[in-house]
Amino acid sequence: MEGRFIVSGRDETRALAENFLNDLHGNEFISLTGNLGAGKTFFVKILGEIAGLKGVSSPTFAILNYYEGGKINLYHYDFYRIKKAEELYDIGFYENLDDDSAVKIAEWADLFPEAIPSQHISVSINLLDNNDREYTFKHIR
């Protein structure tokens, strides 16, 4: 799925997430960007709900959460608290990149662009003045 979409509220976000999820093979790397409060974790939570992954919550503190047992397996990263690129080795980031059995989503991926696989899906979320969200999906090759 590619393009720009404006959604309002939970139901429309869910419909968008459903389309997005249907297009995934289950092994992609997704860079998820947007300002504080844009709704990055919310989007992953909705994806998780649709995929049957329970209890998806913010990985900011834990840096990495792993979920399995649904339609997809999911590594959910958050680079927000990472200060140096070399810390990514320590959290097992590069080991998990090779895991073809799971989708990898990294919030704040733009903080360490050099760490992101050259082939990935970019999802950016922008909170608009009227509380709608603008989603932009791009396949980067």
Partner 1 sequence: MIVLGIESSCDETSVAVIRDGVLASNLISSQDFHKLYGGVVPELSSRAHLERVLPLVKKALADNNLSVNDLDLIAATAGPGLIGALLVGFIFGKTLARTSGIPFVPVNHIEGHIFSGFLMDTKPDFPFLCLVVSGGHTMLILVESFTSMKILGTTIDDAAGEAFDKVAKMLNLPYPGGPSVQKAAMAGNPGAIDFPIARLSNEFDFSFSGVKTSVLRYIQKLESPPDQEMINNIAASFTASVTGALLNNVRKAIKKYKINTITLTGGVAANSHLREGFIRLGEKYGKKVVIPDFQFCGDNAAMIAFRGLSLHEAGEKFDPAYEPFPSFFSKYITG
- State which residue, 134 or 138, has the beta carbon closest to partner 1: 134
Angle at which helices 40-51 and 9-22 pack, to 10 degrees?
60
How far apart are the C-alpha atoms of 111 and 10, rounded to whole Å? 27
C-beta closer to partner 1: residue 95 or 100: 95
Closest CA to 110 of 130, 85, 87, 133: 85
Residues that bind partner 1 (CB under 8 A): 35-37, 39, 41-42, 45, 55, 57-58, 60-66, 81-84, 86-87, 90-92, 127, 131
Output 101 or 118, the one with its CB closest to partner 1: 101
CB of 92 to partner 1, least distance (A): 6
CB 30, min distance to partner 1, A: 19
Q: How far is the CB of 66 from partner 1 (least distance, A)?
A: 6
Give the Cα separation of 48 and 52 in Å (integer).
Answer: 6
Are the beta carbons of 127 and 43 closer than 8 angstroms? no
Q: Which is nearer to partner 1, 15 or 85 (CB)?
A: 85
Least distance CB 90 / partner 1 (angstroms): 4
Bridge partners of residue 137, in order along the sequence: 3, 123
